[in-house]
Amino acid sequence: MAVVERVSHTVAVMYMGRIVEIGPRRAVFENPQHAYTRSLMAAVPVADPRRRQLREDLGFKPIPSPIFPAGFEPGPSVYDLVGPGHRVLRGAD
């Protein structure tokens, strides 16, 4: 995550092959809107455990299997604008 934060201007977060959040680096890192993005940010290791902020429920519940069942066709991706250039997948939380 540190490399992404330092070298990227725009960040896209994907879950199961779909972009669930996209936006300017600062907006996504400082104000993650999608539950999966929040869980990724919470998983970043912190050198000093006293500085780690624990959150009980980030709202993201992983699915039992990451493989789509046969015949599954995901619906169209519709995004909500949550800030300048910052979009999050609608209805994915």
Residue-wise pLDDT for 24-43, tens only, equals: 999 999 999 999 999 898 88
- In degrees, rounded to 5, the angle at the alpha carbon of residue 39 between the alpha carbons of residues 21 and 23 is 20
> In the predicted model, what is the mean pLDDT of residues 38-54?
78
Query: The domain containing residue 30 runs over which residues?
Result: 1-44+76-93
Give Cα separations from 91 to 9, 17, 18 (angstroms). 26, 16, 13
> What is the spatial distance between Cα 80 and Cα 91, in angstroms, rounded to a whole number?
9
Q: 20 lies in a domain?
A: yes
Report if residue 66 sits inside a domain: no
Task: Flag whether 13 is in a domain.
Answer: yes
Q: Is residue 62 a part of any domain in this protein?
A: no
Residue type, 64: P
Mean local confidence (pLDDT), 45-53: 73
The structural domain count of the chain equals 1
Please give the Cα distance from 34 to 30 (Å, whole number): 12
Share of residues in the chain with pLDDT > 70 (%): 72
pLDDT band at 6 (very low <50, low <70, confident <90, very high): confident
pLDDT at 43: 83
**Would 32 be classed as within a structural domain?**
yes
